[in-house]
């Protein structure tokens, strides 16, 4: 590669990095504004949505664990880590009650 090609590659990489950080900042701004709107209407943006009866019933059955995680994520929009932790807690509580 010639010096010109290295320079153009550097400019391309720099542009990609700058665009990434620009989009990241924009997403943070939108998230902040959305949280302000939620607070204005009296909705706590950090509140954890309790699982529905359907999800609890699925989580109580070890064979339905994946379906329970899927249903919880669909109903709440939680990420996979939170959903797995929630379903595991429900399952352990169901074992303790039995």
Residue extents of the structural domains in the chain: 1-45, 53-97
Q: Is the pLDDT of residue 93 over 80?
A: yes
Chain segment 29-72, per-residue pLDDT in tens: 999 999 999 999 998 887 777 889 999 999 988 899 999 999 99
Chain segment 10-31, per-residue pLDDT in tens: 999 999 998 998 888 899 999 9
CA distance 45 to 36: 9
Using a 10 angstrom Cβ sphere, with 0-12 exposed, 13-18 middle and 19 or more buried, the burial of residue 92 is exposed
pTM of the model: 0.56
């Amino acid at each position: 590669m010639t010096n010109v090609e290295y320079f153009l590659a550097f400019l391309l990489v720099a542009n990609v990095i700058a665009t990434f950080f620009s989009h990241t900042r924009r997403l943070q701004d939108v998230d902040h504004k959305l949280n302000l709107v939620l607070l204005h209407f009296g909705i706590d943006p950090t509140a954890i949505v309790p699982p529905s009866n359907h999800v609890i019933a699925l989580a109580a059955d070890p064979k339905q664990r994946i379906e329970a995680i899927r249903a919880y994520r669909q109903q709440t929009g939680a990420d996979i880590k939170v959903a797995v932790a929630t379903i595991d807690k429900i399952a352990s509580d169901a074992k303790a009650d039995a």
